Amino acid sequence: MYGSGLVYLLRCIHYTVCASKRKTFILLDDGSVYGFGWMGFGSLGFLDRGASDKVFKPQILHSLRSHHISQISTGLYHTVVITNKGLIFGVGDNERAQLGHDTLRGCLEPIQIALHETVD
């Protein structure tokens, strides 16, 4: 089982850090994602917001545990991940259609972004 805390995360052989002004993600080589920082607009991907709008210590994103995440990118109010199978998921604010969904509503949990081929 995993140890706890940032020390464990940094002892992993490979990890990637992705940060924006208000939040940070750590992507481990096993495909798991940890996040911490400001939870505004749901952009951290945690369903249980609790009493605070902040996550002070790295926590695993349980909503993505069934996927092996290979890439992550975060904006001010949204986050997008890509799995090792090429699936794309987005979470957070979608007011300007930045998550590629059919609606302008934000997402509090990662929702798959469908790619459609276009014909000119």
Residues in the chain: 120
* Those residues with Cβ within 8 angstroms of residue 62's Cβ, 6 or more apart along the chain or in another chain: none
Which pLDDT does position 1 carry in this prediction?
Answer: 44
Q: Answer with the residue of higher pLDDT: 10 or 29.
A: 29
Residues 79, 45 contacting (CB under 8 angstroms)? yes
**pLDDT of 51-95, one tens digit each?**
678 888 999 998 899 999 999 999 888 999 999 999 999 999 888
Q: How many domains does the chain have?
A: 1
pLDDT reading at 3 higher than 70: no
Which pLDDT does position 4 carry in this prediction?
Answer: 59
Tell whether 117 is covered by a domain.
no
Quote the domain boundaries for residue 75.
Answer: 6-112
**Token representation of residue 27:** 């992507």
Tell whether 118 is covered by a domain.
no
